[in-house]
Each structure stands twice: as C-alpha cells, then as structure tokens.
Amino acid sequence: MAAVDRARVSVSPFGYPQVSRGQQSIAAAMDLTMSDDEDEVNIEHSLFAHICTPAKFPNAQAFIDLTSDSEDNEDVQTLTSVIQNVSGPSRVADIDKMEHGQFAQSSRSILRVMKRQASGQPAPTRHFLEATIGGILYRAGMSLELKDGSFLRIEQVDPMPFDVRFTGRHLFRATHPHVKMYLPKQENELIWVTQKMDSVGSKHVKKICDIRFTNHRTDFDEPTAELTCRLKLTIRQQGVVIIPDQHPLTTDQTAIEYLNFRESDAGFGKTSIQLRDEWRGQGRTTFFGEGQASADEMHNDRDVIDLTGTVTGKAQAYTFGDAYCGGGGMSCGARQAGLDIRWAVDNSDHAVDTYQRNFDGVEIEHADFFSFLTNDPNWTRVDICHCSPPCQTFSPAHTVQCAKDDANSACIFSAGSLCRSAKPRVLTMEETAGLPERWAEIFHRVLLDLVEIGYSLRWSVLRCDDYGVPQERKRLVVIAAGPGETLPHFPQPTHGLISAPGLLPRTTIWSAIADIPDDTRNHDVEKALHRWRLAHRAPFDGHRPAKTITCGGGEYNYHPTGLRPFTDREMACLQTFPMEFEFSDSNVRKQIGNAVPPFLAKAVYTEVAQSLRESDAKEASGVWH
C-alpha cells in the first residue's frame, strides 16, 4: 500500500495547538498480504475516518476519509494552514451515552488509502486533531470514559490502518482503589496522572463524557455534581532528569498539584493573583518579599531581574518563620539563603537559649506550638514557613515508648494549622525518612490536610550528602505551595561520586573537622580522650562521610583514630553548623542531633526563593500562570 501523508499536530497539556518541526512527513501504512499497486484493503472491523475541508468545519484541522472513493484528497495539504484555530471541545448531540459497539456499525468495509510518493529521508509521523468513527466526530479537547473506569482527555488523534488511537491526559476517579489516601475522596473528582501521555484504541472507549478542568478550590466535604479535575499527580523515579541539562534525581519524589490557569478549561480558570488574594487577602502579598536581606545574602552579589528588565534591590527578601525551631539548623540555612527571619517558636529551654544566642532581632517565643497559634495572624503571616514537629516517635531509632509519645504524635498534624494561621506562600516540612513507609496512614493524613486547604505538595527522601553534608543522613522533605503559587522543585544535587561530571566530591569527615581551632568552644579534645582511655575502638578511614548524627551521637560515630568520640563541635561541623555558631551550656549533643543540617536547609530555601522570584517577575510584568 502507498503511504499516507498526515498533518502532524500535537496539543500541549494546556489545550493549545503546537505544530511539530517536521513539516513534510510520510506515514507508512503497510499490509503484508497486498502489493503496493492495490488500493483496497478488506478489514474485519470497519474504521470510518473522513477528510473534510476547513470550510465545512471551520474549526477542524482536517481528518481523513478512509472510505472515500475519490482519488483527489489534496485537502491534506491544507492542514498546516488551519491548525492555528483550534476550538474548545465540540458538543456532539445525542452521543453522550453511546457505547463503542453502537458506532462500530459494520463488520467489514473497504479501506481506501491515498498513495503519495515518498522521496528523500523519511520525516516523523504527523498526527491529527480530529477523526470521525461511524459518523461521530472525535476531536482534541473531548473527554472519553474508558471501559476500565478511567478517563482520557483527547489531545491527539491517530488514525491507523485498522483502528484509531486517542492520546491525552489519563485520569482516574479519586475513589479508585489504587488512588492513595493522601488524595480527597470525592466520587466525581478525577485525578490527572501526568507520568506520560497515554494512548488507547477505539475499542477501549465506553462513551464520550464531559469533564471540567479547573483550578478553583473547593470544599471537599461537599459533593461535586459534575466530573471535575483540579488535581494532578506526578511520581518521578530516581535517575530521571527533571530539569534539562541538570543531574538526575538520586531519590524518588511525588507531587500533588492543583491545575494552573493555563491547564484549566476556558472559563474555569483563575489567575495566580486571584487565587493568592482569595487565600492571603487582597494586596497582602509583596512581590519579591517585604523583608530585608540578611548580612549573609548581602555579600553574594546576586541581583534579581524581572522580565521587564527592572533590577530589584538586594535588600528585598522573603520573610520566614520557623516552628519547632530547635537550636536553629533550619533558620541557619534560611538565613544563608537570604531569607528575613521574622519569628521562631520552640518549647525547649535549651533550644530557645541556643536560638537567642545566634539570631539577633528574631522574635523567639518559648511556648508550645498550639499556644503560639493564638497570636495575631497578621503577626505570624510570612512568605515562607517551616514546620518540623518532633519526629522521635516515628524514627526507626525509637524503640522504647516514653511519656511524650502521644504529645509528639499529635504535633505531626500541626502543618495544616500553621498554614491556616500564617498563610505562607510556601511551607516546608522535614521529618524522619521512615515516616512514609512505617507510618504511611499518618503521613497520608498530614498530606491530605494540606491538600484540602488548597496547597500543592512535593515530597521526597533526600540524601543530605548530595548537598555537601558530610554524613549518610536521609531526611523526608515536603514542600507545599499555597493557592496561586508555583510548586518549587527540590534543589539539584551539588555533590556526588567523584566520577559524576559537574558535581563536587562528597564531603568527608576529615574535610569537615580537620581545621577546628583547639580553643574553639565545645571542642575539648582532652576530655574526649580521657573518656575513652580504657576503651579504644577500631580506627577507620576518615575520607568518607560519617554515619547519621543522632541525639546520642549515632551508632559507629566516633573519631577516625578510634581513640575518642567526636567532640560536640566536631558533631556540629558534621551537621554543617558554622564554626561561630554558639550553643547553650547543656543538652548540646541533643540539639545538634535533632537539627536539620544548615547546608540542606540552604539548598532547599535557595531553590524556594528562586522559584518565588521567577513567579513574581512574571506577574510583575503581566504574565499570568
């Protein structure tokens, strides 16, 4: 058989047409039982596809009539001239409940395929936006219910010699048994699974249906009358490159995102500014932050330039609040990333003492978290919040129950309460790496609480040594973006194996502790030697990362000589606290072990701040998202 010339047109996830680079392409349609000179092919299941001119269907791109007797089908050449006028989903009368078998009208028919001489190097296959089957028009923008109970929003139609295939967004009901518990369970709420563009044949189609794609927030306690998609789910596996020309992921990550304005159907989308104002209050958000950049940020000579070319001053910064701040590991990294720390809260005397010694001008409240929430919301409101509730109850190292377990377990659900009070544009959480697997039901409830109030989420178990931390430490990190905000990515790794191109080598024990001055506070080497004078350990190579630092030091964590344990200052350096960071007079080791490594915090908040700056620059220049 001769080849078929198809107009290659694809549709972006936002419903807009995109012309492929290949303008001259040939798609071969072969039948091994026939010669090239034969035009007619008998097929068992008839496929009715029809080429019509733009005059007859002004919004149609073109579609092939495989049953036509006419040899003159030059209308195909007009495809590229009409693809710029794609309309929204067509309304086809009286077929909403039509089953697939009803439009498979004939068991046999004649398939006539146009011949076209191919010359030169073959180009990529072209695709269609429309096709008819049994007299029914299928076009990009329509939605289909499939026989397996899932759904498809058509973005591309591919007539085949013996079938037609639909490619597009694949959706599942939120009540589907395989949908995770962190998604709201509403019968008519659909979840768009974005891993790939799924393709199905016509035999899998049950019927045409209406699905509304919207970014409007809703009360998930109220039933939805129509099939509606407002959330998309993305699961990325390790080894996948998320950002072009960057290093691949070293861990898996998952994201639940509300659709944005461009992904919503016409008339059902709100701009980022509208959504943000509804959540935080009109005029309550200052582009590029209303804070002042810290001294650390003032040295880095980085200007922020918006899309209009206007330079925003270095002094402007996003504001930050730290709940369950401990000694200040997360705040330390936030300050290094240029954030303006406004408040912190913790219930530990020793942690508050340490925090006050290192963060002048920050309002540090010595209180339990839920008492802190009674403060005026206008005072707690910041651009970025962090929430690290006590995680000992959920840690693999926690093997003995204690009196504080119930109270600590209750604190894990405090992120949603913090968002309702402070209404941050971005919230971060950090917890033990074992929470998602060992305590999945609790973790999913934490995520669901944030989704139900309108936040998009991304989470992963990050390797701290990917970001210059000299220890084999893994931590669960959650990034949540409020209504109207773009969900930031995780930072790309900066350190790795020596053979990895573009990455710094992993930081080692010796490189972290070798240059500590003898008179440094919390660095009594003689005392450490005396403690182990009768119980030396086996020496080991210090040119590698340490084991995970814990409140008690961590299993097998001692000086590479084997003659002594690490000093408190050495442990602080292994956690990447700066040398000048001052700790309280007691409970030092516990504060260090509980802390988020500042290098990890800096990497996360540098990425978060950059994401906010990019979004603010677009909006300041009138670009909606």
Is the model more confident about 3 or about 248? Answer: 248
pLDDT per position as a tens digit, 189-217 = 999 998 767 889 999 999 999 999 999 98
- Those residues whose C-beta lies under 8 Å from the C-beta of residue 76, and which sit 6 or more positions away, are 5, 6, 7, 51, 62, 64, 114
Stretch (H or E) spanning 64: none
For residue 91, is pLDDT > 70?
no
d(CA 598, CA 479): 17
Top pLDDT among 86 and 60 is at 60
**What is the separation of C-alpha 530 from the centre of its chain, rounded to a whole number of angstroms?**
50
The pLDDT value recorded for residue 22 is: 35
**27, β-bridge pairs:** 4
Span 230-242, average pLDDT: 78
CA 201 to CA 146: how far, in whole Å? 10
Amino acid 360: pLDDT: 95
166: pLDDT strictly greater than 80: yes
- In angstroms, the CA 611 to CA 488 distance is 6
Residue 15 φ/ψ region, left for φ over 0, alpha for ψ in the -120 to 50 degree band, beta for the rest: left
19 forms beta bridges with 9
Q: How confident is the model at residue 223 (pLDDT cuts 50, 70, 90)?
A: confident
C-alpha gyration radius of the chain: 30
Mean residue pLDDT of the chain comes to 78
Q: Is 325 a catalytic residue?
A: no
Interval 13-47: pLDDT, tens: 333 333 333 333 323 233 323 333 333 333 333 33
Tell me what pLDDT residue 47 has: 34
Is the pLDDT at 392 greater than 80? The verdict is no
| CA-to-CA separations, 45 to 32, 104, 233, 578, in angstroms, rounded | 18, 7, 36, 72
Higher-pLDDT residue of 342, 93 = 342
CB 103 within 8 A of CB 2: no
Task: Give the distance, in angstroms, between the CA of residue 511 and the centroid of all CA atoms in the same chain.
Answer: 34
For residues 79-84, average pLDDT: 30
Confidence of residue 224 (pLDDT cuts 50, 70, 90): confident
Task: Please give the pLDDT value at position 82.
Answer: 30
In this model, does residue 556 exceed pLDDT 70? Answer: yes
What the block records as the tokens of 243 is: 């950002």
Query: Rounded to whole angstroms, how far apart are CA atoms 64 and 73?
Result: 9
Phi-psi region of 573 (alpha: psi -120 to 50; beta: other; left: phi over 0): alpha
Structure-model confidence comparison of residues 6 and 148, the more confident one: 148
Confidence band, pLDDT 50/70/90 cuts, at residue 447: very high
Q: From the candidates 332, 385, 387, 391, which is the catalytic residue?
A: 391
Q: What is the pLDDT of residues 246-272, one digit of tens each?
A: 566 666 889 999 999 999 999 999 999
pLDDT, position 560: 97
Query: What is the residue-wise DSSP string for 413-482?
Result: THHHHHHHHH--SEEEEEEETTHHHHTHHHHHHHHHHHHHTT-EEEEEEEEGGGGT-SB--EEEEEEEE-
What the chain holds in terms of domains, given with CATH numbers, is 130-270 (2.30.30), 271-284+316-624 (3.40.50.150)
Let me know how long the chain is: 625
Does 159 score more than 80 pLDDT? yes
Q: Tally Cβ neighbours within 10 Å of residue 173.
A: 18
Res. 240 pLDDT band, cuts 50 70 90 = low
Predicted TM-score (pTM) of the model is 0.77
Pick from 6, 26, 30, 1: nearest CA to 122? 26
Q: Could you tell me what percent of the chain has a pLDDT over 70?
A: 71
Question: Would you say residue 413 has pLDDT above 80?
Answer: yes
CA distance 611 to 605: 10
Q: Which tens digit of pLDDT belongs to each residue from 294-320?
A: 655 544 544 444 444 444 445 799 999
